[in-house]
Structure 1
């Protein structure tokens, strides 16, 4: 038998026949067989299911047991557990055969364990498989447990027979930055694990070691480092196809057992889409809850999914709620919605391969960039998720990079998905950093790698928003990563009138034509957010006057009260947006003319910023002196 095969003796018969070999296990096998390393860190969905009732961790144990005589798991709270109880006696005998002269010196407590073991083995009527009475019984502390495991791994007769799994390894060796603050026991644990990973003689024993951790930033950084000797293997969340196969199999088994689960207003294909970002254990939880509630509904799936994602990914991700009205909720974005229909929605519907992968929305603050993404999520029918940039940065080495990596993995699991990065220019992902800021360089490189992944085209569309595109590195802006840079500019009078009506409708207040005209004509250089604030103020004034709609007097007074800052900065941010645009078809005609002379455009930008070298002279001017 080979590692990776499964038998009905280890798993449920039906599952054993159907269970696929996970890609992460194949990655382990290839690396191990090549002799590259003997230590592995498994992270990600390790406690999710491969199939119903069989976790990724359980698959690992069972697959290893097909080839190894002893597969044991240790965690700090539960102590030692063997995949099969018969393995305990074999482990006891191997440890006893190693004796006190082991390569790794045993502590006083470990020696006492072996003395106790000898007395057990030599006493009539005693069985080596004694549970808490033997060295692998009870719940020893991590240092003693690791030393005992090392004795087992190094036993000459154990070569090629043993596999060790450290469960919840972040609790055994947590991520503590300053070694000086670590207790002597914690330093001993770190030293032992580092020795395991780097010791070539231990590698030659042909006994693999696995550290399991769901969130890798929680494991000590030295173990995650490239020189630790451990290879990090990600266990990804299930794909749509994985979820669909699981749902069909699970529901069929429920039918066979005369405990069917009804699908009320959703089918299996739709449910596979709705549960993007969840693992198979989460799916089972939803199905079991649905059985008690009378069936699976969209609302049940959505509410449970929101709760799960909030619980597990809220640190790095926020699900974007689509606008129920879609593009109908927008006002003054005709060029943007027209582009989305022709360049995004239609190609996706037809399955074409020229869908943009990255889109940068640029323009003054408050022009509705985020609002547009919410409307697009409704129109295209994709999941939509936003990176919580403020939570990415960490003072701990490597943790910022791991958080961003976790977000990217989550986004991949959500496909098809819209991914939104707000205020890109304000993050460390927008430029390549410097020698003094290696974190920014690492985050930027991760972003480049993510945006260069062609396998995501048609499955993921990344939207970025920025008021300062001039601060974004050109390597990120090139075609193939950022396929469209679209200015979202301040609305003209006609567009402002539509925004006023859309805002009044959204804020559930009537408005007269006179009030619409007053606001639209007197709000030049106002953003959509500014207009929303004016309508909100007018609504309050109307309510105070006990009116059911906004009238002209309310609009006049609201405009006198609301004085936004946008008009004073509008020209500067508009010119920056025009300069960043890489396709003049995406600009209004009068703005497209600005791009015809970039030198003049940049001079205008400097002038708006009150920098020297303002508008260059185009003709000789008369000297005004006498």
Structure 2
């Protein structure tokens, strides 16, 4: 480099996969070669000879957090982010490809539709899809494109995002009428393009077995936009967790409008505590909080935080401006709601049995059964029927399974989860009648008492 500078040459040095030369880690944990690389690059960034000459050193990395932070934060270094192509950029690129190699005969997607359906894909991936269709003379259909995009996105995220393709809609959900009304309204606003009236996100809470995951999955079938589930992005290796999260958030932003489901959110998202993990939890929390609070993404990225312990989710994530709407689900209150839940579970499991005797016996025990318990009873009835090689589940199978079933009993934990949902709920209309006018101070006192019992 110095010889080139002495000759008066302009120099541009491009180092690809820079994270393999100067990886993000504590200096003490770097190998001798990596420490040497970091020192050399930092010296180049501050070298007065290089600064005066026409020298550019370009480090290329997929995720900035995977690069050594001492280098990233150096005053002689500028960070330039190249986002994934938006719809207009994808359309220009697709037109340039199709002008040279037209799509195979029988393709049912136009260039505009192809650009719209490939949100979140890179140009290389677009070229690969079109080249594959042309080389194999396979018509490019919307169905094939949807499946291929799902595979590419899941692979690009390293398996950290899972596409949710629900076979159900909200009509499959029994009870929870007030909660469904809120979600129906949100789905209508999405279809009408009124993303400005949507909350930034939802906290879906309630005791175990109330159908939080099923309700959200059914909402996915109602919305008409892509829905993904955020899987465990944490790693035992330093710097990898933050890199995983940055990759996932970049993909989510590029695929907007999109809904993101985080199951067991109280355990997944972490908090500001950095004890024992070198500050990973603190940095992850800051990344997620900053992304969720970006009001430019209102109606474009909708978060669903699912938990039975909403009190364990940090206030910073569930405040107004982030997960704004808190929907609480509870066990059915009336006989009509309990029978509706039984029939919905029968429909879901394919065990439609009309038996007044079975329904009467069910109602006698319904106080102690959650939706998950009812599903377990119906699955047992199906197993009994299958083992006896019956054509279908009958009333006797259902009665035997119901009599044999003993639901798990965690009264202290269940009561705590119910009270946590009551305290978290942001709409009085979602609360059962017995909780609406209950003294809030008494609920807090009892919840704190139960939380202490659970900890002990």
TM-score norm. by structure 2 comes to: 0.88
Deviation of 1:494 (Å): 3.0
The answer to whether the 8 Å contact 1:494/1:520 transfers is: no
Instruction: Find out whether 1:411 has 2:252 as its counterpart.
Output: yes
Q: How much has 1:156 moved relative to structure 2?
A: 5.7
Deviation, 1:496, is 3.6
Number of the residue aligned with 1:165: 14
Matched, 1:420 2:269: no
Unaligned runs of 5+ in 1: 1-149, 613-626
2:229 matched to which residue of 1? Answer: 386
- Equivalent residue number for residue 192 of structure 2: 350
Partner Cα separation in structure 1 for residue 343 and residue 386 of structure 2: 18
Could you say if the C-alpha distance between residues 486 and 553 of structure 1 is closer, same or farther in structure 2, counting changes exceeding 3 Å?
A: same
Q: Which residue in 2 is equivalent to 1:537? A: 380
Alignment equivalent of 1:318, drawn from 135, 159, 162: 162
Question: What is the distance in 2 between the residues matched to 1:513 and 1:293?
Answer: 55
- Correspondence list, 1:25-40, <5 A: none
SS at match of 2:227: strand
How far apart in 1 are the matches of 2:161 and 2:393? 39
- Judge which range, 290-299 or 530-539, deviates more: 290-299
RMSD: 2.8
- CA distance 1:312–1:153, shift in 2 (3 Å): farther
Are positions 1:571 and 2:411 aligned together? no
Q: Structure 1 residues 560 and 205, CA, compared in 2 at 3 Å: closer, same or farther?
A: farther
SS in 2 for 1:462: strand
Q: Distance in 2 between matches of 1:244 and 1:443?
A: 34
Deviation at 1:250, TM superposition (A): 3.5
Deviations 1:297-339 (A, max 9, x none): 12311232232223221343222x2212322332233222211
Tell me the SS of whatever aligns to 1:231.
coil
Q: Is the CA contact 1:500–1:520 (under 8 Å) kept in the aligned structure 2? A: no
Aligned CA distance change for structure 1 residues 365 and 170 (closer, same or farther; 3 Å): same
State the distance in 1 between where 2:362 and 2:116 align: 43
Instruction: Tell me which of 143, 146, 150 is aligned to 1:302.
Output: 146
Q: Deviations over 1:425-468 (max 9, x none)?
A: 11353x32257763322222222211221111121211101111
Which residue pairs with 2:74 in the alignment? Answer: 227
Q: 1:394 to 1:194 in 2, by over 3 A?
A: farther
Q: How far is the alpha carbon of 1:564 from its aligned partner?
A: 3.2
How many aligned positions are there? 448
**Which residue of 1 is the match for residue 347 of structure 2?**
505
Greater RCO (CA < 8 Å, at least 6 residues apart)? 2
Contact kept? 2:27, 2:35, Cα under 8 Å = no
1:132-174 Cα shifts (integer Å, max 9, x gaps) = xxxxxxxxxxxxxxxxxx335643613xx22111123334445
Give the equivalent residue in structure 1 for 2:428: 584
For the Cα contact (< 8 Å) 2:416–2:450, is it kept in 1? yes
Deviates more, 1:559-568 or 1:484-493: 559-568
1:334 matched to 2:177? The reply is yes
> 2: distance between equivalents of 1:365 and 1:153?
68
1:580 shift after superposition: 0.8
User: Within the alignment, does 1:195 sit opposite 2:20 as a pair?
Assistant: no
CA contact (8 A) 1:497 1:520 kept: yes
Q: Equivalent residue for 2:84?
A: 237
Give deviations 1:477-509, integer Å, cap 9, x for gaps: 222222211102223443343333333333333
**Displacement of 1:567:** 5.9
Secondary structure at the counterpart of residue 202 of structure 2: strand
Contact in 2 for aligned 1:425/1:472 (Cα 8 Å): yes
Which whole-Å CA distance do the structure 1 matches of 2:110 and 2:166 have between them?
23
Compute the TM-score of the two structures, normalised by the length of structure 1: 0.65
- How far apart are the structure 2 equivalents of 1:520 and 1:242? 59
Question: Partners of 1:164 and 1:311 in 2: how far apart?
Answer: 31
Residue aligning to 1:151: 2
